[in-house]
Amino acid sequence: MQDVNFQPVFDYIDQTKQELFDKLASKEDLNMLKNSVDAYAKQSKDMYQEVTVLVAKVSRMENWIKQASTKLGIEYQV
């Protein structure tokens, strides 16, 4: 029976494994990504709240314009 040298195969597997581990994201990378997503979520939430406030303002202004146009006898058209 002939002895087979598997060391080159093991070396190749170790090298490939190390290359794969090197490509994985580090904890720092994941924390930076999480912080970026959190910041974007906060911006989106803030923007939604601002839009909600602006819609309410426009609605109040439109009601005021309708009331004023009725009192002035001017037809209000949207």
How far, CA to CA in Å, does 69 sit from each of 15, 56, 58, 61, 63? 80, 20, 16, 12, 10
Contact 48, 58 (CB under 8 A): no
Per-residue pLDDT of 21-58, as tens digits, reads 888 888 999 999 999 999 999 999 999 999 999 999 99
pLDDT on residue 3: 82
CA 59-46-57 angle, 5° bins: 15
Give the position of tokens 């930076």: 32
- Give 45-55 pLDDT, tens digit per residue: 999 999 999 99
How many Å apart are CA 50 and CA 44, to the nearest integer?
Answer: 10
